[in-house]
Structure 1
Amino acid sequence: MKLQMSLPERPGMLHALPLLDLIALVLIFPLLGPSFVPLAGVEVKLPENDFRMQRFLNPIVVTVTAGQEPQIWVGKTKVRRDMLLDYVAKEAESWKSGGAPVVHMKVDRAVPDSFGEDLSYELLRAGYRCWWVAKMRGGD
């Protein structure tokens, strides 16, 4: 019994499928890439702790970077300390999750604790829920 090939000699688009997969990947990665970028545009070295933080939808991110004079960022905008509450209030206008708006404080390890605490108390007095962000101990 002789076996016959069921495919035509020139299968047409069959050889083009890997090329279509490659084109799909080239289009998908640039579209999804920005979603993997950190929320705040500033990189800091976070302190470590053993506790897992509660997740909130679209929190206001306040980042404090180390240096001679610590710099304060609300989202990706650098702000002066005396303007912090104004910028946070502007971000809080879009808060829809109920209750007082949540502020995630990302304070660099090298920033003195008293500086971060002062900012936290200022935000708490203004009526915001303030959460300090840290990385899990033993994580990267």
Structure 2
Amino acid sequence: MKLESTLPERPGFLFVVPAFNLLALLICFMLVPSFVSQYGVAMELPVSRYQMERPTDATVITVTAANRDTPPSYWLEREDVSLSELSERLDARRGDESSPASTVLLQVQKGVPVEIQQSVAEMALQKGFRVWVLGQPPEDAGAPATAVPKRR
């Protein structure tokens, strides 16, 4: 006995249902972000005296040394100065009304003794400047991820 279907074949129905599913999924992706809202209450925070401000007119002092045995070099902005000249120029900058720099950014190269860094920071603090000590990125921060350490 051979069984045959009396209904005609309609394969198009098998392709229409997934198309409706895809259309519904696209509509959901387009509409859902408009329904999502931020939770919470909008408020203004009070001014804090601990809030840090961005120094726009800061004076940059750099202290460099080749090693611990050599005397350090002092740089004010991009100019090489001695320690006494540095003190005089800081006095001049503090008294100058045209450039009211009140912040000193102190950058100390690796290998410079901490005592020298402290003496320069104390000198700037005594002259009425605020001192920010700048850090340095770790030495391996610029190394590529594929770098292999040397073996002995």
Q: Which has the higher contact order (CA 8 A, sep 6+)?
A: 1
Q: Which position in structure 2 is the counterpart of 1:131? A: 132
Query: Displacement of 1:95 after TM fit?
Result: 3.4
In structure 2, runs of 5+ residues without a counterpart are 1-51, 143-152
Identity of paired residues, percent? 24
For 1:102 and 1:119, locate their aligned partners in 2 and report how far apart those are by CA, in whole Å: 13
Query: Displacement of 1:63 after TM fit?
Result: 0.5
Deviations 1:3-25 (A, max 9, x none): xxxxxxxxxxxxxxxxxxxxxxx
Contact 2:57 2:100 in 1 (8 A): no
In structure 1, runs of 5+ residues without a counterpart are 1-52
Q: Which position in structure 1 is the counterpart of 2:37? A: none
Q: Which position in structure 1 is the counterpart of 2:59? A: 60
Larger radius of gyration: 2
Cα pair distance change 1:123/1:96, threshold 3 Å: closer
* Structure-1-length-normalised TM-score: 0.53
- Spell out structure 1 runs of 4+ moving beyond 4 A: 136-140
Query: Displacement of 1:83 after TM fit?
Result: 1.6
Deviations 1:51-76 (A, max 9, x none): xx853102000000113110000001
Picking from 73, 77, 88, the partner of 1:86 is 88
* Structure-2-length-normalised TM-score: 0.49
